[in-house]
Amino acid sequence: MEAGSSPEPRDVLTRADLAAGLRTVRARADLSIRELARRVGVPHATLGGWFSGRNLPTPGQLTTLAAMLRECGLGQAEVAAWLDAARRVRATPARVTRPGSPYPGLASFDVADADVFFGRTSETEAVLARLVAGHEQPAGSLLAVIGPSGSGKSSLLRAGVAAAVLARDGAGSCVVTTPGDDPHRALDEALAELGSAGVLVLDQFEELFTATDDAATRAAFLDRLTTPPAGVRVVLGMRADFYARAAAEPALVTTLQHGQILLGPLGADALRDAVEGPARAVGVTVEPGLADLVLADLAPRDSPTAAHDAGSLPLLSHALLTAWELGTGRLLSVADYRTAGGLDGAVQRTAEQAYDSLDAAGRDAARDLFLRLVRIEDDVAVTRRRVAGAELAALLDADSALRGVLAEFVRRRLLTSGDGTVEISHEALLTAWPRLRDWIDTDRDGLRLSRTVTQAANEWDATDRDDALLLRGTRLAAAAELAASPTLRTRLNPLERDYVAAGTAARDAARHRARRRTRRLRRLFAAVAALALVAAGLAAYSLDARSHAATAEGRARDARDEAVSRQIAGRARELSAADPALAAQLALVAYREAPTDDARGALVDQSSRPAITRVLGSQGPTPLALSADGRLLAVGHADTGTVHLYRRTAAVPVALGVVPAADAARHQVFALAFSADGHTLAVGGEAHQVVRLWDVRDPGRPQPTGVVATGFTDDVQDVAFSPAGTLLAVAGTGPHPVRVWDVRDPSTPRALAVPAGAPAAGVTAMRVRFAPDGRRLAVAAKDGAVRTWRVAGTAVTGGRRAAPLGDALLAAAWSHDGRDLFVGDVGGKVVALDAATMRPRHAAVTVTTGNVNALAAAPGGAGFVAATSEGAVSQWSTVSWTALSSLGHPGPVTGVAYTPDGTTLLTTAADGTLRTYPASAGLPTDDSVYNLAASRDGRRLAVATSGTAGGLRLWDLRDPDRPRRMSPLVTMPAGSAPITGTVALRRDGAVVAAGNPEGRVALFDVHEPAHPAVLGHVLQALRSGSLVESLTWSPDGRLLAVGGDDDSVRLLDVRDPARPRQVATVMTGGLVLNTAISPDGRYLAAASADAHGYVWDISTPARPRLRARLGGFASYAYSVAFAPASDRVAVGSADHTTRVWRLGGATVVPVGPRLIGSTGYNFALAFSPDGTQLAVGSSDDAVRLYDVAGTPIRVPVETLESLGGNVFALAWTSDGTHLLGAGRAASVAVWDVDVAAYGARLCTRVGDPITRDEWALYAPGVPYDPPCR
């Protein structure tokens, strides 16, 4: 059955099918979950679990299910069919194994696998004996089997204990379950199935701590668990690393004192039995020597008595499973075991084979899926997470590639799928597959946030979307940024994005209400400030009784100002995604209140975003029109019915005049258009369904010239003039939703014949657009169709129709050359139609989860911009079909336009505000950026991207705020693999070096950037097949250092760039991830995956001498940089720290403490030109600036977060006023670190200053004093 469809009872096979069907039944009855729960007399959470697919009705709950179905209006036969479907799903086995397979791989042995479960006989008997003797245990004592992850607890409890109880006492005598997300429901269902007596096995007991955040819920569950029905005995299975958490629960103390069984490693004989027994049980011969080889592989290095390390049993089972599948089915051989990769390599080999079999979309889907299947905790190891029900269905619906990914990894038994759930087969995969480990380590904070949203959204949906469960505060702000990110938003499924959107809407409504409480907040803030003054005065008195009262008051004022500054700075960061224009002003307010580190960081962060000018207006939908020459601008205001005219300038638009409302009672304006010569403005809306024409040759005194009576029965939605200015087309709702008038004489418009094939009566035409050459007319309508006609003079003929998206169309725009027509719909999709055939040129792209309200084509370029109901304006490339940028607005965006030269975007939104900003901020790129390299004079910057089209571009940085592209994309010559993001620019900016994954390096002559040329031949600089990780020029341009994955750094003599030659090689103990040469040319440094930095003296390049091996890191050394004076070297590590050493003298000594604050891998380092600051870029998506002028200060003085995504590269401009950063996001951020200059520049183009209402909301208690007036 296809995901997302609504099955009939006979089609139901899985938990997800049942949930989808029940949701359809409820929707047809038009009953909420709460109302249904009230009618049948059960908690609404019970029904919520059924509708979401998280839980199934137990046998004891089938009468409740029947009652619920009857309340939904189903007859007796239909109810019976749904009850049969529920029973069928419960009977479906959770795991399907290959017939005869004796090893489950990473999955546990289950009850059905008892005949092939070996090695734990004594432990099984010990548990059974304790169960029999249970009456001798203290009251409240359970039996707990505790052991490390991978020690075989689940297999013991299922294939050992549960299977033995069932064999002894018969069916129904033992039930196995897990706590899951709702432990109470899991317990209810298990006890209902078990009855009054038997054994309840509660496996994966640690889920009680990882999936249940509420302490009260946990305590109530434990109270029930420790007082089970008289005939029920309970056995827990729990990971040992959760022992401390369990011991902190009073209800479990007795169990841990009297009822625990520790599961240790197998002995050698038992381990041999575990290897050979399953094969013997299915009649397969084990080759002599295999068991000995496996035991040797398993033997721990640090324990001469144990037969294997804790946690290695799943790896063993997977290695044997892989060997079994490689074999003939008659012999388990040593050769097959070695081919499988042995103990260490089998899991990695299988996982990589599965991953390599996928296409690019599948690999992206695999990453998103696996990251959804893990749970990150602060104080314990990463754990797996089960995805079930509606969450799984939403994933499959949202990503077409996911079904194939899921099938592939299930087939290889790395994932377990069944009964509407999917999970990682065992936590051993989390450490045994390096790629998965890297995915997790790269963004732990982001994963924590994603899973928080997932859990909260599921609970919200299960409770009929109760507003009380929406996110608030900083968690909402972080989730909103995640949902808005073009690269990260795939981590959220549609339900989760709806949840974040609902939280954002509730927050905005709360802010509106908060304005009414401003006066009370001011009084409260004044009281707090007074208390702070008293507290500070008392503190000053206790420290120095002789201090003058004025000094105490001054300190108190400073403390108060700093607290307020930090508070406002935090609000500026929170607003930066949704309202960057206001956020920039708030950051400046915070900095002027007190120049705290938080305020400075917030202000510098804003400098990397587009400089937005805003012109405030009244609330409501706000249409926008720009004259063909880009000089005159019209903005309509819904609540007044007026249209404001502006002269567009390079800075702030200048108000000129106002077109008055047509009707005081019905005055909303929905549609505006200028004639081609800019002399006439057409205004349409709801007033009498007419279009009014105004002479705006004198914009200060617009004059009415004519009226077009449309004959519509509802609002005028859109108007458009033909490029010649002779025709006016109007769209709306009525007997004829599209009409065209001859307006050569605007005072007496003449109606033309209704175009043949126009939308039928009752269909609303939303957009009408003439092609740039005036020879075609297009209309987009709510029936999902787009229609085009030929235009010749006043004749509109030859209608054609297409329905490209299926949903109602709201937006349309012609490309600049008229070859394509872009249309957007209510489902958030945009497609480009070939104007000649009306067929899509490319698959539709989803630009938003809401409506596409407006579209504009990029002038002279291959792209478009979309304005959405979700408050985002996103620019897209029609070459790569990827998002180039996205800018947030505080509400739905209703209008968007490019200036004729394409340099500026103008938008209007439902908040009534006009915004203008540069169409390109920073340096847009084609893919992730791994390297930046600047010339000595700072005028040129080389930017290197990776991917299938990996290459580099040169940019002119003479004005860092307006970088200019200088070169085409420079790529490796034919026959060589693409550039891998590794690049170095010679200090004079005339030659650039680039590397690829084959260990090859090419040098390009770029003294004329528009015409780059390869110098000589491509050089095999490293061992063949070794990725070039880093390239560095010496200051004099004579040497080039090449570092990479063959653990070496090669020094090349490049005095003749066309004939480079190798002069020396130095080795490290691991991959060389980064290199640097000191500004004086004396030292070469490298950062290595062996967790060390290296420094060599290369005064004699042919004979490098190791000067220092810099250690003290707990993981890879990833980055290295020299200070400008060549007296210090800094090394950044994957252990989240950075260290600085001083060079000179006989030894290299550390300077100051480790630099902390990062929570990710420190991929990039850069000293400021004056050596006083060190910038550190990290995988936690932040850049941190440290004060290293003297002894380095341990914590950052500024944190910059606006880039979005891992930070791989950093570079300063030569004057130190700007810092550039790049990484996973497809752009290069440019931060202005001269806050005084940026603040002054900001105020010249901010437009309308922060209002009194905004000030009261975000800076309560502070006297109104806007920094920009």
* pLDDT tens, position by position, 1057-1072: 999 999 999 999 889 9
Gap between the Cα atoms of 1223 and 922, Å rounded: 13
CB atoms within 10 A of CB 692: 21
CB proximity list for 199: less than 8 A, separation 6 or greater: 131, 161, 162, 165, 173, 174, 175, 232, 233, 234, 235
133-178 per-position pLDDT tens digit: 765 555 556 899 998 777 889 999 999 999 999 888 887 889 999 8
Q: Do 588 and 605 form a contact (C-beta atoms < 8 A)?
A: no
Spatial CA neighbour of 555 closest among 570, 541, 569: 541
Give SS3 for 1221. Answer: strand
Q: Do 852 and 810 form a contact (C-beta atoms < 8 A)?
A: yes
DSSP per-residue codes, 1025-1087:
T--EEEEEE-TTSSEEEEEETTSEEEEEE-SSTTS-EEEEEEE-SS-EEEEEE-TTS-EEEEE
- Given a cut of 50, whether residue 335 has pLDDT beyond it is yes
Q: Do 964 and 922 form a contact (C-beta atoms < 8 A)?
A: no
Q: Which fold has domain 9-91?
A: 434 Repressor (Amino-terminal Domain) (1.10.260)
- Residue 1030's pLDDT band, with cuts at 50, 70 and 90, is very high
- Given a cut of 80, whether residue 1003 has pLDDT beyond it is yes
What letter would DSSP give residue 108?
A: P
CB proximity list for 393: less than 8 A, separation 6 or greater: 3, 4, 16, 19, 20, 53
Q: How are beta strands 1227-1232 and 1218-1223 bridged, if at all?
A: antiparallel
DSSP per-residue codes, 77-126:
HHHHHHHHHHHHHHHS-S----TT----TTSPP-GGGGGG--S-HHHHHH
Range of lowest pLDDT (446-450, 644-648, 798-802): 446-450
Gap between the Cα atoms of 1169 and 1157, Å rounded: 23
Q: Is 1091 left (phi over 0), alpha (psi -120 to 50) or beta?
A: left
pLDDT at residue number 677:
93
797-847 per-position pLDDT tens digit: 988 888 877 788 999 999 999 999 999 998 899 999 999 889 998 889 999
- Count of helix runs (H) and strand runs (E) in the chain: 32, 68
390 against 1082, higher pLDDT:
1082
Single-letter amino acid, residue 667: H
Q: Do 10 and 384 form a contact (C-beta atoms < 8 A)?
A: no
pLDDT at residue number 921:
61
Assigned token pair, 1247:
């437009």
- Residue 1241's pLDDT band, with cuts at 50, 70 and 90, is confident
Spatial CA neighbour of 1064 closest among 1109, 1095, 1032, 1104: 1104
Same fold, 120-265 and 624-844: no
- Domain at 120-265: CATH code: 3.40.50.300
- Residue 95's pLDDT band, with cuts at 50, 70 and 90, is very low
Domain residue extents for the chain: 9-91, 120-265, 475-611+1235-1269, 624-844
Gap between the Cα atoms of 944 and 928, Å rounded: 8
CB proximity list for 435: less than 8 A, separation 6 or greater: 351, 352, 355
Dihedral angle at the C-alpha atoms of 663, 666, 670, 674, nearest 10 degrees? -10
SS (H, E, C) 199-259: EEEECCCCHHHHCCCCHHHHHHHHHHHCCCCCEEEEEEEEEHHHHHHHHCCHHHHHHHHHC
What letter would DSSP give residue 38?
A: H
Range of lowest pLDDT (538-542, 597-601, 939-943, 1027-1031): 538-542
pLDDT at residue number 138:
57
Assigned token pair, 333:
């051989």
SS (H, E, C) 1251-1268: CHHHHHHHCCCCCCCCCC
- Given a cut of 80, whether residue 514 has pLDDT beyond it is no
pLDDT at residue number 139:
55
Gap between the Cα atoms of 1103 and 1083, Å rounded: 12
Whole-angstrom CA distances from 971 to 685, 925, 990, 992 are: 53, 14, 17, 12
Helix 342-356 vs helix 434-442: crossing angle, to nearest 10: 70
Q: Do 44 and 52 form a contact (C-beta atoms < 8 A)?
A: no
Question: Averaged over 1075-1103, what is the pLDDT?
Answer: 94
CB proximity list for 486: less than 8 A, separation 6 or greater: 874, 882, 883, 886
Gap between the Cα atoms of 861 and 137, Å rounded: 79
Assigned token pair, 809:
């169309």
What letter would DSSP give residue 358?
A: S
What letter would DSSP give residue 136?
A: G
Q: Do 978 and 972 form a contact (C-beta atoms < 8 A)?
A: yes
Single-letter amino acid, residue 517: R
Range of lowest pLDDT (487-501, 728-742, 886-900): 487-501
Whole-angstrom CA distances from 397 to 2, 391, 419, 846, 1251 are: 9, 10, 18, 14, 44
Mean pLDDT for the chain overall? 83
pLDDT at residue number 513:
57
- Residue 94's pLDDT band, with cuts at 50, 70 and 90, is very low
Gap between the Cα atoms of 140 and 188, Å rounded: 19
Single-letter amino acid, residue 1247: G
Gap between the Cα atoms of 996 and 930, Å rounded: 12
pLDDT at residue number 424:
82
pLDDT at residue number 522:
44
For domain 624-844, which architecture applies?
7 Propeller (2.130)
Helix 444-462 vs helix 44-52: crossing angle, to nearest 10: 120
Biggest alpha carbon distance in the chain? 104
CA-atom Rg of the chain in angstroms: 34
Q: Do 1044 and 1025 form a contact (C-beta atoms < 8 A)?
A: no
What letter would DSSP give residue 970?
A: B
- The percent of residues above 90 in pLDDT, for the chain, comes to 31
pLDDT at residue number 750:
93
Give SS3 for 535. Answer: helix
Dihedral pair phi/psi, residue 617, rounded to 5°: -145, -170
Gap between the Cα atoms of 737 and 731, Å rounded: 6
Dihedral pair phi/psi, residue 552, rounded to 5°: -60, -45
Gap between the Cα atoms of 488 and 501, Å rounded: 16
Assigned token pair, 356:
């390599």
Gap between the Cα atoms of 403 and 466, Å rounded: 31
